[in-house]
Structure 1
Amino acid sequence: MPSSNFSPSSIPDLSGRVYLVTGGNAGCGKETVIGLAARGAKVFMGARSKDKAIAAIEEIQETYPSADIHFLDLDLSNFSSVMAAAKKIRDEETALHGLVNNAGIMGVPYSVTADGYEIQLQTNYLSHWLLTYHLLPLLQSTARSNPEGTVRLANLTSDGHARFPPSDGIHFEDLGLEKEGSMKRYCQSKLANILHTAQLNKRYGPDSSESQNGAVWFAAVHPGHINTDLNKQATGTAPGFVLRSVTPVMRCLGILDAQEKGAWSSLFAIASSDFKKSDSGAYIVPYAKIGTPSKHAQDESLAEKLWQWTETELRGKGLLE
């Protein structure tokens, strides 16, 4: 895959800064946590399993004994958990310098959450939208008291957003896509992540009317084709034994890269001085390069329609008060 000259070692000292990485106990999220904590940041590791998160933190601290990492209970398939996590951050921290909406599931069989949404749509998109909504005031207040470009947000997406989404991009008439394949549902959710980023940048970015209240810089990040547990989840696409046998072959062929590289673009977007003001709102591709997303992802009217639908939907559930 193409690569810039970016290296995680080029990230400046992050002492005194606070970050939240969702899905930070494994895969690209864990490597992102490592990259931030190794540079001196305080990092909240959002995860469903406390045991797995604590084990990951202890493993990281074996290499980086001074790493300041904290478990944050966060289940993205449950809106109540998202609300509680956001409240905990707001109650405990006076500043938040970066949010990496990294967690996700891919290609899982069709199911509906207790909140009533298709599980990939909620986990990958809706819950991150909700988390972002409730943390934006803290991000903005942090931006007001720090140098321009200090405070940033990265939404993880995938090049799949351009490959297999519904023909209309976001199929509002049937967002659950129950009769479609699992990867179509996944790709719709990943397109939603980019459209979310575009609207965030328009509304709260450096050129927005809100910029005087503290401009946040945004990016949509495609981490690359990485060898993580995400590939093992995709049992709605192929049986587990097939995925387990194919993954090592894909890695040997260079189709899947090592986990460490999966964090490079996130770290570039969230903390590198090479990511500029003019890059806010950009689509980042492997590794640490500005890319061009699909036509659907560049559709401003589609982005606005999705924002309005999401806001109406979540407000109707009393989640935005």
Structure 2
Amino acid sequence: MPSSKFSHKSIPDLTGRVYIVTGGNAGIGKETVIGLAARGAKVYMGARSKDKATAAIREIQEQLPSANIHFLDLDLSNFQSVIAAAKKIRDEETALHGLINNAGIMGVPYSLTVDGYEAQFQTNYLSHWLLTHHLLPLLQSTAQSNPEGVVRLANLTSDGHAMFTPSGGIRFEDTGLEKEASMMRYGQSKLANILHTVQLNNRCGPASGDSRNAAIWFAAVHPGHIDTDLNKQATGTAPSVVLRTATPIMRCLGILDKQEKGAWSSLFAIASNDFKKSDSGAYVVPYAKIGTPSEYARDPSLAEKLWQWTESELRGKGLLEEL
């Protein structure tokens, strides 16, 4: 992995700020929660399982008694759960300083969610788009009363967006990709995360050219090749016995890095003083560096087409109305 000069010292005191980390009960998400809470932030840990989240919060607070962490019931495979989670935040909080769309699944066998979408495409992309939509008014109102750059949003992506996407980048006529490999479905969803970030920056960030919007900064974050449970999930790519054998070998070879390093780029993008206005909309790579995504990820017409497609899909299901 590339070296980095990232330091937690570049993250200011976050006392009084509120953040949400989806998938915050394990892996990179958990380390991100710890990093924010350690600097004094109030953090909502988005997770499907209350028991697992509660256990994770208890574990963190044993090491960091001052940690102000709260469970947020969030199942990204169910749009109604996403909307309910956003409503809870808007009902209970008067400000939201950061949203880290961290949760994801990788390389799982083909399946459909209760909403009828391929599991990886909904969990990794569509539900985060929907969550962002319903929290954007709160982020914008928070930005209006804070110095520029305080309010930010990070979408986690992967270098898989460049390696596994179908021809054209997004297969709009068949987003489920049922007949394709599981990693192609994953790559498409991760490309969508970057394109979403680009459009958010164009519409609501510095690139919009509208001074009313320039207070929110955005980033698409590739955390690195990290030793997390994602590697155990990828049974659509290889049998679980193969993954169990390969993972320790990849650790020894340095191919998989420690989980705490996986949070570095997220913390850099969401809170570090070293992330600047000119970086908004950028692709952040390991660790805490600005990189260059794939050609598809840099295609403005593809980004616009995906935004319009997504908005049409979700509006058609009545999911975009005000909370």
Settle same-fold status: TM greater than 0.5: yes
Q: Which amino acid is 1:157 matched to?
A: T
State the Cα deviation string for residues 235-271 of structure 1 (Å, max 9, x = none): 0001111111110110110000000000000000000
1:163 is aligned to 163
Q: d(CA) in 1 for partners of 2:137 and 2:209? A: 15
State the Cα deviation string for residues 15-73 of structure 1 (Å, max 9, x = none): 00000000000000000000000000000000000000000000000110010000000
Q: Which amino acid is 2:218 matched to?
A: F
Given the superposition, is the C-alpha separation of residues 23 and 70 from structure 1 closer, same or farther in structure 2, using an over 3 Å criterion?
Answer: same
Given that 2:149 and 2:217 are in contact with CA atoms closer than 8 Å, whether structure 1 keeps it comes out as yes
1:39 is aligned to 39
Q: d(CA) in 2 for partners of 1:312 and 1:255? A: 40
- Structural mapping, 1:48-197, within 5 Å: 48-197=48-197
Q: d(CA) in 1 for partners of 2:266 and 2:228? A: 15
Given that 1:98 and 1:152 are in contact with CA atoms closer than 8 Å, whether structure 2 keeps it comes out as yes
**Residue 273 in 1 paired to residue 273 in 2?**
yes
Q: d(CA) in 2 for partners of 1:307 and 1:188? A: 14
Q: d(CA) in 2 for partners of 1:47 and 1:262? A: 18
Q: Which amino acid is 2:279 matched to?
A: D
Q: d(CA) in 2 for partners of 1:213 and 1:2? A: 33
Runs of 4+ in 1 over 2 A off after TM superposition: none
Given that 1:204 and 1:211 are in contact with CA atoms closer than 8 Å, whether structure 2 keeps it comes out as no
State the Cα deviation string for residues 115-149 of structure 1 (Å, max 9, x = none): 01000000000000000000000000000000110
- Structural mapping, 1:272-291, within 5 Å: 272-291=272-291
Given that 1:141 and 1:214 are in contact with CA atoms closer than 8 Å, whether structure 2 keeps it comes out as no
Given that 2:125 and 2:189 are in contact with CA atoms closer than 8 Å, whether structure 1 keeps it comes out as yes
Shift, 1:7, TM fit: 1.6
Shift, 1:101, TM fit: 0.1
Taking only aligned residues, the RMSD between alpha carbons, in angstroms, comes to 0.8
State the Cα deviation string for residues 244-300 of structure 1 (Å, max 9, x = none): 111011011000000000000000000000000000000000000000000000000
Shift, 1:213, TM fit: 4.8
Shift, 1:9, TM fit: 3.7
Shift, 1:164, TM fit: 1.0
**Residue 307 in 1 paired to residue 321 in 2?**
no
Shift, 1:211, TM fit: 3.7
Given that 1:155 and 1:197 are in contact with CA atoms closer than 8 Å, whether structure 2 keeps it comes out as yes
Shift, 1:215, TM fit: 2.5
Query: Tell me, what secondary structure is at the counterpart of 1:105?
Result: coil
Q: d(CA) in 1 for partners of 2:240 and 2:109? A: 12
Unaligned 5+ runs, structure 2: none
State the Cα deviation string for residues 169-210 of structure 1 (Å, max 9, x = none): 001111100000000000000000000000000000023155
Unaligned 5+ runs, structure 1: none
2:239 is aligned to 239
Query: Tell me, what secondary structure is at the counterpart of 2:206?
Result: coil
Query: Tell me, what secondary structure is at the counterpart of 2:71?
Result: strand
Given that 1:99 and 1:153 are in contact with CA atoms closer than 8 Å, whether structure 2 keeps it comes out as yes
Shift, 1:3, TM fit: 2.5
Given the superposition, is the C-alpha separation of residues 88 and 101 from structure 1 closer, same or farther in structure 2, using an over 3 Å criterion?
Answer: same
TM-score normalised per structure 2: 0.98
- How many residues of Structure 1 are paired with residues of Structure 2 in the alignment? 321
2:298 is aligned to 298
Given that 2:208 and 2:214 are in contact with CA atoms closer than 8 Å, whether structure 1 keeps it comes out as no
Q: Which amino acid is 1:255 matched to?
A: I
